[in-house]
Chain A
Amino acid sequence: MAIKIWHALNPEEEAVFKEIASLYMESNPNVQIVFENKAPDLQTAVLAAVATGEKFDLFIWAHDWVGLMVEAGVLKPVDNDVADVLPKFAVPIPQYQGHVYGLPFTAETVALICNRKMVPGPPETFDELLGIMKSYNNPPKTYGIAYVVNPYFISAWIHGAGGYYFDDQTEKQGLNNPKSIAGFEFFKKYIMPYVGPNPTDYNTQVSLFLGGQAPCMVNGPWSIGAVKRAGIDFFVAPLPPVNNTFVPKPYGGLKMFYTTIYASKEAIDFMKWFTTDPQVAKILVDKLGYVPVIKDVQIQDPVVQGFYEAIKNVYLMPTSPKMQPVWGAVELVIQNAIVSNQKTIPQAINDAVEDLCARGLC
């Protein structure tokens, strides 16, 4: 019985996944697990395969494709098959219109990554962070913070202020909600002035931090490899709260197995084992620095621990495909009113929402 799994993992991840799969095959000799790498465009590969009737059991990606893939007829609900393992998870399982279409094995979000030479320990409050940003803000030598100003990275402050880009339940955008506006205004007033040059460019921001030109950077687990290679002594901590009610809640993604309409029972069993077995979780933590999403996992690595703390405040990315155009709308607000002053924030939001509505998407 062969289980076909499509993915776009990097070579390091792929090696570990194959290693784990061979563990499973040892105890289940009737099963043959085959990984097929479809990078760089897994989405197109999956949609094209489905249209032609090509069969595979599972594929691996972050959870924000669920809605799109359901609408395209790619996935089948597995609510009953996985009901027995759901209590093992420490995070909400991604759903679309009330159904489960796969299981997650790691979570990703942004946190504060600081250089110990410049910042001795994690700031407990936003005021402390503000103090750090102010004291290092001495352009063009040093800057207050390295921060990629885009919709994903700054979402923490909009959600923290009580606003939202998009409500996954009602499938409506929430940009013109007064609390969302307050969140954008907060970011612009208290963080934007201390961000280094080319705020929308990922590489510039990362290199500022790596070059010691910024005390902290806001980034995700995927950036840790570069930080380690640069030989920086660093720590990872959640974004600090502004006050008791204003706690930053960054968008987070769950990397998961998706069950296609062709997923066999064996494939679903393998997915359940992979996502909930503590031994697998430990291998993923130790070898790849993955942040676990099941309960009862011992984490020794302080970096993974830092992101694990950050995950507790996470705001899950929507699964609805109707989020897609909202990303562009937020990008416009950021470009027009935060990194530049072409418009005020309420104006920019108003224009972006009007454009969404004109296309029938609000």
Chain B
Amino acid sequence: MRPQWLILPGLLLFLFFNIWPIIYSIYISFTNANIKNFPPPPPWAPEELKQARPPPDFVGFANYASILTGPASSGFLGAVFWTLIFVALSVPAKVALGTFVGLLMSSDRVVGKPIMRALLIVPWALPLIISVVAWRYVFDPTYGVVNQLLYAVGISKPPDWFVNKDYAYAAMVVIEAWLAYPFIMTVVMGALANVPRAAYEAAYIDGAGRWAVFTRITLPLIKRPLIYASVMTAAASLQFFLVAFLWNFIQLYDRFMLAYGYYWAFGSPFREYGLAAAVLTMSALLISVFMILAIRLAGLMRGMYES
């Protein structure tokens, strides 16, 4: 037997679980699949059901045309725009917070690090639904900590973080930063563990201040993992959906790409699966382009294939 055959089981599983669903959903995006005709009845289904549920029709690029040029296209493009703003706001917040805490947690002067590290990972480990419920209490317009604080500092009418679109959007940025900083923190801590102490000692002996040590030594040495983590977390921001869905979907649906697609396809009378698949395919394309550009520009792959 030739050794190449050994990859067959893995390859088949990969094709079945990864490639097939992707190809199938791309296929769906070219049909008018909806609740009336999808999924089609199996061959052994009774005749009356086959008549009641004719198979979906192939509609070519109609779903894509409706996203890009239809009457709702301005809504979708608006959602893409606001998603990019969300990336621009949330990614720096996540990275700054994660890096700061990561540096703190790697310092010799912090006491009780093992316990604190465990606690800091909590946002990452907690089921999302519980995080959202907790944050709903924090941002509750009447009883929440945030508005109680605002009230205490003299703001007599603090904002409604659910009903007011812009404030709800701002809350999303805060929550996303909170959800994702443990990831960045972990990456930073891992990277710092590999930085030789001799580099710091040499710098201090040469009289470098803390800021100089950070910008000249720490940052260059952890730059690669940090950029990698930033690109990954930017992709997470592009796919932001569930928190907005649970928060107040009706105000936030037109601020996030995937949320708009969901609202558009599933908020219609017959759940337009075809349209939803087209929105997903478009979003996947946009996110892929973003990732490829980010990886290229950051030079993450540089040196990968030389050795």
Contacts and interface: CB of A to CB of B under 8 A. Distances in A.
Contacts of A299: none
A339 interface: yes
Nearest to B254: A355
A357 B49 contact: no
A324 to B, nearest CB: 5
Contacts of B267: 324-325, 328, 359
A321 B164 CA distance: 29
Given A325-B269, A359-B72, A361-B268, A51 B39 contact: yes
A342 B71 contact: no
A360 interface: yes
B268 A50 contact: no
Interface in A36-94: 47, 50-53, 68, 71-73
Interface residues of A, number: 35
Contact of B264 (A53, A339, A359): A359
A343 to B, nearest CB: 11
B45 A324 contact: no
Contacts of A200: 162-163
Contact of B52 (A73, A323, A340): A73
Interface string A174-191: 000000000000000000
B55 to A, nearest CB: 11
B41 A51 contact: yes
A327 to B, nearest CB: 9
Nearest to A197: B142
A121 to B, nearest CB: 32
Nearest to B166: A342
A9 interface: no
A72 B36 contact: yes
A227 interface: no
Interface residues of B, number: 36
Interface in B230-250: 248, 250
A53 B35 contact: no
Contact of A71 (B35, B44, B45, B268): B35
Given A53-B41, A53-B46, A72-B36, A355 B269 contact: no
B270 interface: yes
A331 B38 CA distance: 29
Interface string B24-42: 0000000000011011111
Contact of B40 (A47, A51, A324): A51
Given A53-B49, A68-B35, A198-B140, 19 more contacts: A50-B49, A53-B46, A68-B269, A73-B36, A73-B49, A198-B141, A261-B52, A262-B46, A321-B270, A322-B269, A324-B269, A325-B268, A332-B250, A339-B160, A340-B163, A355-B75, A357-B71, A359-B267, A359-B268
Interface of B: 35-36, 38-42, 44-46, 48-49, 52-53, 71-72, 74-75, 140-143, 160, 162-165, 248, 250-251, 263-264, 267-270
25 contacts: A51-B40, A52-B45, A53-B44, A53-B46, A53-B49, A71-B35, A73-B52, A197-B141, A200-B163, A324-B268, A328-B250, A328-B267, A332-B251, A335-B163, A335-B248, A335-B250, A335-B251, A336-B163, A340-B160, A342-B163, A342-B164, A355-B75, A358-B74, A358-B75, A359-B71
